[in-house]
Amino acid sequence: MLKKSKINIILIGLLLLSIALLGGCGAKNEENSIGNGKQKKTAWEKIEEKGEIIAGTSGTLFPTSYHESGTDELTGYDVEILKEVADRLNIKITFLEMGIDGMLTSLNSGKVDVVANDISITNERKEKFSLSEPYKYSFGSAVVRKDDLSGIKSLKDLKGKKAAGESTTIYMQIARDYGAKEVTYDNVTNEQYLSDVSIGRTDIILNDYYLQTLALTAFPELNITIHPDIRYRPSEQGIVVKKDNNDLLEKINETLKGMHEDGTITALSKNFYAGADVSVKQDLDFE
């Protein structure tokens, strides 16, 4: 039999060995953790490393995102704001054109880094995405037929009427809430929307006031007008990034702040919105 002193020595040795092994595992795990931490880059670091930011936009929404007549050049209020942001961050920008549904899906999948297309800042969107400080303030209006206002006096009269738009927009949700029949389109031009109201294929388009004012100016021959008594839902628009990409959002907000302060955003607004400064919030009464 082993003497008691020898047993104690063996037990102490085993204990020390266990501590050493545990310490080694802990050090290894810490080393792996540190190593993994070094490998994981933030959204902004990835963009900065590749020197390019990918932006989703429609290319069909005048004057937000569209192609200059007779050219392939993509321009518009939101587009030019994104170009200026990228320029000030010393990053190349590439645009991918798609419908609004595809933009937000592409944002979550990582196909695009940012999205801008007159997208409203809402509590529901804040739960799913991160949104910049606003660069546009507006409100909702309604395009109807000029000769009879499409038989509509207020939003309460939308029940059973045919409302045109894209299914995931805030404006189509408002139409549904008031009982309108939904007529959806897949990234078509303003002319298609407006022509359908004019000829009675649809009855109403709920959308941004400034966008609708300019759209009507572009197609004076159509039997359409902005409803004189329907004003609702004051809104703010901003750039959308993937949820919790905080460092990228911070860079964007810092840049937008500088653009507000030096008058760049006001100048862009007046250029694309016929002299109106949409970067300033209006004091109006709404439904």
Q: CA–CA separation, 61 vs 59, rounded Å?
A: 6
Residue 77, classed as helix, strand or coil, is helix
The average pLDDT across 140-148 equals 97
pLDDT tens digits, residue range 196-225?
999 999 999 999 999 899 889 889 999 999
- Looking only at the bridges linking them, the beta strands covering 240-242 and 114-115 are antiparallel
Q: CA–CA separation, 35 vs 215, rounded Å?
A: 55
Whether residue 159 sits in one domain with residue 96: no
Is 2 within a domain?
A: no
What confidence category does residue 38 fall into, taking pLDDT thresholds of 50, 70 and 90?
A: low
Whether residue 249 sits in one domain with residue 123: yes
Whether residue 116 sits in one domain with residue 61: yes
* Domain end residue (candidates: 210, 234, 258): 234
Q: State the pLDDT at residue 14.
A: 45
Whether residue 220 sits in one domain with residue 147: yes
Tell me the residue range of the domain where 174 lies: 138-234
Count the domains in the chain.
Answer: 2
Cis preceding-peptide flag for 134 (omega within 30 of 0): no
The average pLDDT across 219-238 equals 95
Q: CA–CA separation, 272 vs 278, rounded Å?
A: 10
pTM of the model: 0.72
CATH number for the domain harbouring residue 260: 3.40.190.10
The yes-or-no verdict on residue 72 having pLDDT over 90 is no
Please give the backbone phi and psi of residue 50, each rounded to the nearest 5 degrees, phi first: -85, -15
179: left (phi over 0), alpha (psi -120 to 50) or beta: left
